[in-house]
Amino acid sequence: MPDMRGVRRRCALLLPVVLLLSGAAAGPEGPVVDTDRGPVRGRTHGAYSTFEGIPFAAPPTGPRRWRLPEPARRWEGVRDAGAPGSRCVQLPVLGPGGPVGSEDCLYLNVTAPAGPAPGTRPRPRPVMVWFHGGGFFSGSGDAYRPDRPAARGDTVVVTVNYRLGVFGLFGHPKLGGAPAFALADQRAALRWVRANAVRFGGDPGNVTVFGESAGALSVCAHLTSPASAGLFHRAIVQSGSCSTTTPPSALLPGLGTYEPFVPAGRTAEEGVRAAARLGCDRPSGVLDCLRALDARTLATADLMQRFSLVSYGDGALPTEPRRALQAGRFHRVPVLQGTTRDEIRLFLAQTLAAHPIGDESAYRARMERSFGVGTARAVAAAYPVAAYPTPAIAWATLLTDASFICPTLRDGAALGRHAPTYGYRFSDRGAPNFTGLPPVPGLPFGAAHGFELPYLFTITPLTEPQRRLADRMADYWTAFARTGVPAASGAPQWPRLGASARVLSLVPGADGIRTVDARAEHHCALWDERWPGVTTAG
């Protein structure tokens, strides 16, 4: 999930000899694949096999803290890959507790079909590389079981850990700014995929990066990063476009504008202040002092969230990504991107008890604080409180349009001028709540942020109609990974994004998948006029 400050816890070419998964040596405990660092033994689960906890870089510990990832060391013998590696240091998302995880966390997991597709001869499969969400301060790759896209879609799926919070996005002048180690970790994983995909039956020349929330923001960054050139061939952006942003005081009074991408100089200044508070402000030895600190000293709620924004302004990410898209400075690959229908409900639900929206006057007051009096008047006309069951639903609806749906469509228009681009809206308001958060009176979650994830990954049970939708979504996503076009047999045609902004709405039921004019339905002309350019100038 994006970090809403103050909403924490609630919210080398291939070697000439390779082993295809279908031809891997299979011992009594599972299949063995020889990676470029050494052999690993996985586990077979019927139609698919998993290889978990594979190191793709050296542990970024001790003197490697806040350094670019280095190659993992080779190992002798067969390494067991039957369980995930450690998650990166983070704080619990829900409930109390201190830091969990380890700085030794740069591991990935591979899920692949157990054999060649029925009736076909073995051929390399598309590879899909998943970057998890969690606001850049929580989450892990092993939380997602990709057996549906792997087995049903005949793809190799790789889920990745990357450094989080102060460990992944810290900046300081002594580091030369803010190098965005989290994104560097992801690039290291993509280089591992390029070197090892064939060994697992995958095609290193057909790699799709996909992610949700912070993972989607990561994909956006790679689309516009010169350092990521050639590492992927298609991109899927779920609920985290380059232009995602949230207005001030949207969720809590005094909460500033949320912008996921910030100038590197700002992050470096924050790093100077943080180092001083930690007693590491002597003219020399600042980094040595900081690297000597225990991980628990650094993994505070303040530091993990303060350094959860991606910096731009260096060679790896020279320009604010949304501006790079508008200027046409991005990798020309097919893109599939979209949102859920009720994104903001998940975030608003976590603050509504403390800051309710009880009536129309409270609703209007929030609009004026967030958008100013003039824009609030226009917004109130487009979103009259009487048209919604509660003022909270009205507020969540307009925030979703302003912060997620319309910015995503703006990015889609920019992308579509240079590359095939497809849009979707996940609209199942009966989607299961897998978050652990209790229901909130007056604000059902509906199709909230992240609620499409159980339809792509095995997370929580689905009803039969929802399982059929999940199968369709897996078909679309994996067809896009295979060909760059999300076309599935027997499923409605998915139009390319154009001037009308027609996107595919995804709902269970016989006629649940259909095209809609998202710009019209979500008042994007209003938002493009009144609130399009609020983020920091690049």
Catalytic residue (choose from 213, 228, 239, 241): 213
CB 455 within 8 Å of CB 143 = no
Q: Does 132 participate in catalysis according to the annotation?
A: no
Residue 475 · residue 152 · CB < 8 Å: yes
List 449, 505, 522, 523, catalytic entry: 449
What's the number of CA atoms in the CB half-sphere (13 Å) around residue 425?
27
Q: Tokens 């229901």 label which residue?
A: 439
Per DSSP, the three-state class of 44 is strand
**Alpha-carbon gap, residue 401 to 526, rounded angstroms:** 10
Grouping H, G, I as helix, E, B as strand and the rest as coil, residue 516 is strand
Is 138 known to be catalytic? no
> How far apart are alpha carbons 49 and 31 in whole angstroms?
8
Beta carbons of 40 and 33 less than 8 angstroms apart: yes
Start-to-end C-alpha separation, the chain: 24
Do 158 and 193 form a contact (C-beta atoms < 8 A)?
A: yes
What residues contact residue 5 under an 8 Å CB cut-off, 6+ apart? 255, 256, 258, 305
Maximum CA extent, the chain:
70
Distance CA 5, CA 241 (A): 19
Distance CA 94, CA 346 (A): 13
Residues 6+ apart with CB under 8 A from 395: 348, 357, 363, 366
Q: Given its phi and psi angles, is residue 473 left (phi above 0), alpha (psi -120 to 50 degrees) or beta?
A: alpha
In terms of Cα–Cα distance, which of 209, 207, 214, 162 is closest to 188? Answer: 162
- Does residue 9 sit in helix, strand or coil? coil
Q: Which of 172, 343, 452, 505 is catalytic?
A: 343
Bridge partners for 130 per DSSP = 159, 210
Is residue 149 within 8 A of residue 477, CB to CB? The reply is yes
Q: Tell me whether residue 213 is one of the annotated catalytic residues.
A: yes
List the one residue out of 73, 81, 134 whose CA is nearest residue 110. 81
Tokens of 323: 């501006």
Q: Which residues are catalytic?
A: 213, 343, 449
